[in-house]
Amino acid sequence: MKVYLSGEIHTDWREQIVEGAKDLDVTFSGPVTDHAASDDCGVAILGDEPNKYWHDHKGAMVNAIRTRHGIENADVVVVRFGEKYKQWNAAFDAGYAAALGKPMIVLSMPEHQHALKEVHAAALAVAEEPRQVVEVLRYVLTGKLPG
């Protein structure tokens, strides 16, 4: 199973899921999580931009190639909404996955339930902890419940 891990890049949730699922037949992919590399990829590859808008725009477009490819080729998309920042990119990824009809697991905190109600409604599972994502994947692949 191919799983795309989208969303916040400031905590180790991805590593927790990958570690927890190491005994499953799962391949993980996701965005570039090096914040500086992600921000600067467009100008590093396509040339400098003195205007910050175009600097960011180039980076967003180059990153979109990776993101679209990852979501389109995924069997399941996991979207994490973190505590600290408003993740507009995560919301966009969730909408893109939903539009493609991709099964989606949302990983978010209970206090964000109201703000994310439309995203949650598009998901097939809403988890609060990375281990729950692993257990959903385990159940889907093996039919086994936690325990």
Residue that wins the pLDDT comparison between 84 and 30: 30
With respect to residue 89, please indicate whether it lies within any of the assigned structural domains: yes
pTM: 0.95
CATH of the domain at 21: 3.40.50.2300
* Number of domains within the chain: 1
Which amino acid, 53?
A: Y
With respect to residue 134, please indicate whether it lies within any of the assigned structural domains: yes
With respect to residue 126, please indicate whether it lies within any of the assigned structural domains: yes
Which amino acid, 106?
A: V
Domain encompassing residue 98: 2-31+71-142
Measured from the Cβ of residue 6, the count of other Cβ atoms closer than 10 Å reads 29
Residue that wins the pLDDT comparison between 83 and 47: 47
With respect to residue 120, please indicate whether it lies within any of the assigned structural domains: yes
Q: Residues 31-45: pLDDT tens digits?
A: 999 999 999 999 999
Burial of 29 (0-12, 13-18, 19+ CB in 10 A): middle
Q: Confidence band (pLDDT; 50, 70, 90) for 85?
A: low
Q: Confidence band (pLDDT; 50, 70, 90) for 83?
A: confident
With respect to residue 25, please indicate whether it lies within any of the assigned structural domains: yes
